[in-house]
Amino acid sequence: MTDAELDARFADLGPLAPPEAVSARTLWNQLEGYTYTQWLAEFSPEHPGTEAVFNANLASIRAHNGKKGETYKQGVNKFTGMTPAEFKTKVLGGYKTKHGQATAARALSAPAPLETHVPVSALPASLDWREKGVVTPVKDQGGCGGCWSFSAAETGESIVAIATGKLMVFSEQQILSCSTNPLQCGGTGGCSGATQEIAFNYSRDAGYTLEKDYPYRGVTGKCIPADIKPVAHIKGYVFLPPNNYTALMNAVVTVGPIAVSGAAEPWQSYESGVFSRGCGVDVDHAIVLVGYGTDPSEGDYWLIRNSWSAGWGENGYIRLARYGATTKGEPCGVDKTPGDGDGCKGGPPTEEVCGICGIMSDSSYPIGASVP
């Protein structure tokens, strides 16, 4: 599908969404003399930590930015007061990996046959679904490990908008509080973790409710049936072949934004640029693939939407290095602790993950979107 064909297909979705505004903040090149007191005033962080931890992180950020050859910059954000261990526990602790999930749960719908995929060289050179007016503003999961519900709700918002022309903001709290996770895939549910596929199964049965009708509270809470007012529905979901570059590229072009997962621990201080250094294979975070492109200096990248507020990263997004079109190819590794990412209780002890930060290992999207 060419760029022109893609634009024509979605030309009737209305005007482009306005750029997301981010309030003025201290950037990586403005950190000389920056203090803990300034940081507290600027970010009002939920986890202020200690001045010693802040100073250690600030020194690390400045050291990184002073190195030659780095493809991205680090900066201060609401996580700068956390140690790496606290960041992993408090921010990434609510998502565990799902590949041990019962096969039947994945087989609700089959992905497009691989033989129908076009070569990556035939796809548009770049794609950003925000430019099609089908992506809502960046959200903030706060101190709840509910990234899985954000990834699923946000993917659902875009898929429904593409199918119906109506872009709505769906409730993550409905998914957090009301979906069940009997196999303990990705955790025990709610802010303690689950997976996007758990969320898609729930939304297939219950429908999506608007955020304004079931607002986010940042805690698991109890399900409130009276707040569930379905405004959109799906019929199921597709789970893409794991670690398949061509399948993922074809899906993001022909379907829309895709729910994906990654090893996000090294993203704590990311501010801008193409993240290309090794982030390991311990998949521990759920996000959304919104497109891809090529940076004139740093090469190909995946465009990833996060749920840590628009004040983190590039207005709430991170660009991850993409190698599938190069002779180098996408890196792969073995995740020896799949329970830290998207795995189920009793699942396999290891799993192969590919792409930087394991970004191609766990990809899915809802199907059959409709509105009443």
Catalytic residues: 147, 285, 306
Cα within 13 Å of Cα(244), Cβ side: 18
Sign of CA dihedral 253, 258, 263, 265: positive
What is d(CA 356, CA 350) in angstroms, rounded to the nearest whole number? Answer: 18
Strands (E), the chain: 72-74, 127-128, 208-209, 230-232, 236-239, 258-262, 270-275, 285-295, 299-305, 317-321, 332-335, 351-354, 364-367
Which residues lie across from 288 on neighbouring strands? 259, 305
By the 8 A CB rule, do 124 and 303 touch? Answer: no
Cα within 13 Å of Cα(179), Cβ side: 36
3-state SS, residue 295: strand
What is d(CA 2, CA 5) in angstroms, rounded to the nearest whole number? Answer: 5
Per-residue DSSP letter, 173: H
AA identity, residue 271:
E
